[in-house]
Structure 1
């Protein structure tokens, strides 16, 4: 509201001088109401112009506390003028009838200052109220985060229980792995199981994203792989891996959860020392180390859970008497130097060739400081928030100690 629409109260002794003062103020269109005392002023009075002679010295503080007040006087040495100033009145002017324009300008300025002060006070009150609400919201958020943290931590421990025991040896092949989730739950998952005296089955999966939704897919994968293994009759091992991937592709698409995965599925024929496998966009490809050389297993396939009616390849290769088969999730590539993907893949091959154990490779990747014990990893999560992604390394080696 503009100052021209504000009501100005004039307190003065009744008579021609008060009328003249009111007329002086009203010349710029200000609304003026003249009264003998503050009690007679109507509600909504924006500012008071009080003559020093009309207010007793005991009323100045009460007047200053009620409405912004300008004091006028006919002489500078007026004792009441000094008392008014001491009481905290906003300003004063001497001989107001001679200084009408100045008086009106002071009135407008005083009203504006009072308006701004009132706005600041309202802002402070709103801010204080907002801070109270934020504190309550933060407390509620901390409570919910604590509950979510406990749920995620419990989920991570359960997920770790679904992983196979490590290390283990079956038919001369030793299996071991290391998995570090970047959060409580991991989108990386793997398994290794003995089917019978001749065959062992394993897979290595990296579900898109990480966290709860990706972890749920790994639980589904564990359930489906166990079911499909029970349904397999041990015949045509060369077809099993590709059939698994095709079935999982259908399951993920039918679920409609918007998740896909990269997988490598293998069937080891211990009798023939042969690896049957299939893959769905596995990156980096498994690395086979034998006789001092390293090579990526050949083959390519589409991701699982993105496209319908995908045919996955049926591939295979013989396994030397002494071999190491390394599988790594794509998060490992973030730990390697190099400006290009090919450069990082070559660097991974070099470090795998120089590593005898999982600990050797972890050390070369500067990951040896991360927990190695499964329970420690699960309970301390998310202790690996500095990781760019879930990290998993899996190694199969044999047949140097060929024992049933």
Structure 2
């Protein structure tokens, strides 16, 4: 028994009929090592072919039709042509119902040889195309599986770069949640204790999402770590200024030519002075500040980071209340809110924050309410809160 890349298997023919079949095939140049004749062994579907091929079966009675049913495959790579011994319309119908792709009569095969050859050639071409599609699909599935493995590996790296999801630094509590639209996220947050008095934090939203955007978040972490090391070595004090920090982000990301940019809100809390100094790089929506005395959306503008070589940023400062909370969002949050326009979404979120005794868990539940059924979110979603812990 030989395995061929493609071929024709002749089954169940008497010797005189087999000679006729081979003669017809030979006249069309189809006779050769790709053709094999079997007498007594009924093959299983596809067993005699490496990838695809055609069965030509001699059928003389109903028992053979039962064998035909067992041979018929599901994927079309092994079509069946039946050669009937008797000229009978019911037999043709029975053969087609049993799974035959075409039917001929042995007594008229010589006359109908052009149709017979054409049928074989069409079916060989069809099953070859089906096999190539199968190979392509299997290759694509393998590539997708490999890509998914790479994404999970990137997710592990990115997760290790994130700060603790909840931590208290000098009576200020930092909490965040990042929900990627895929496996890894283009949204990123960081909390950097600079000294006993100063803490830097930011929420960044890289354009696009997926692995390419996640790589930019790794770069952000790397730059932040270098700025902190430079401060410790007293070689640079850029990390003491949100504006200078954004400028460094912009310079390094733009220089790499990654065709990526990001929006960002970067804040610096000064404990002794009780102030928040911040700079904005094209970020939207702006953070919401809440205290018993006020509720406001922070002011500030600035260009996206990494898009322009000479991007301009502005630094602002506010005095923090004794009891305050600051809520930061990536624009993926707005995708989840049910209102029809951006203005309505922002107003609805602000009204909810105003009317609710907010905690981080309640805020997250409110944003994801009505969207928990989604298998994939339309964008990465980041939420962050910065609050004074009153002891």
Q: Distance in 1 between matches of 2:188 and 2:278?
A: 17
1:246-298 CA distance string (max 9 Å, x none): 12111111101100000111100111110000010111101101116421100
Matched, 1:395 2:385: yes
SS at match of 1:338: coil
The residue correspondences of 1:154-173 to structure 2 (distance < 5 A) are 154-173=153-172
Q: 1:252 to 1:153 in 2, by over 3 A?
A: same
Give, in angstroms, the shift of residue 384 of structure 1: 6.8
1:356-375 CA distance string (max 9 Å, x none): 222211221235986xxxxx
Give, in angstroms, the shift of residue 143 of structure 1: 2.1
Q: Distance in 2 between matches of 1:360 and 1:289?
A: 15
Q: Distance in 2 between matches of 1:292 and 1:337?
A: 29
Give, in angstroms, the shift of residue 399 of structure 1: 4.7
Q: Distance in 2 between matches of 1:236 and 1:138?
A: 54
Give the gaps of 5 or more residues in structure 2. 1-22, 29-82, 84-103
SS at match of 1:343: helix
The residue correspondences of 1:225-244 to structure 2 (distance < 5 A) are 225-232=224-231, 240-244=241-245
Q: Distance in 2 between matches of 1:118 and 1:183?
A: 51
CA contact (8 A) 1:362 1:368 kept: no
Match among 101, 108, 113 for residue 89 of structure 1: 108
The residue correspondences of 1:209-358 to structure 2 (distance < 5 A) are 209-232=208-231, 240-291=241-292, 293-353=294-354, 354=356, 356-358=358-360
Between 1 and 2, higher relative CO (CA 8 Å, sep ≥ 6) is seen in 1
Q: Report the aligned-residue RMSD.
A: 3.0
Match among 352, 360, 363 for residue 361 of structure 1: 363
Q: Distance in 1 between matches of 2:251 and 2:210?
A: 22
Give, in angstroms, the shift of residue 188 of structure 1: 0.3
Q: 1:86 to 1:234 in 2, by over 3 A?
A: closer
Give, in angstroms, the shift of residue 237 of structure 1: 8.6
CA contact (8 A) 2:238 2:244 kept: no
- Structure 1 residue aligned with 2:139: 140
Give, in angstroms, the shift of residue 196 of structure 1: 1.1
- Structure 2 residue aligned with 1:10: none
Q: 1:123 to 1:295 in 2, by over 3 A?
A: farther
Give, in angstroms, the shift of residue 122 of structure 1: 2.4
Runs of 4+ in 1 over 4 A off after TM superposition: 85-88, 114-120, 233-239, 367-370
Q: Distance in 2 between matches of 1:337 and 1:369?
A: 10
Structure with higher Rg: it is 1
1:37-60 CA distance string (max 9 Å, x none): xx9xxx79xxxxxxxxxxxxxxxx
Give the gaps of 5 or more residues in structure 1. 1-38, 45-64, 66-84, 92-109, 371-382
CA contact (8 A) 1:238 1:316 kept: no
SS at match of 1:365: helix
SS at match of 2:285: coil
The residue correspondences of 1:1-80 to structure 2 (distance < 5 A) are none
Q: How many residues are matched?
A: 289
1:306-330 CA distance string (max 9 Å, x none): 1111221011111110111000110
Give, in angstroms, the shift of residue 235 of structure 1: 10
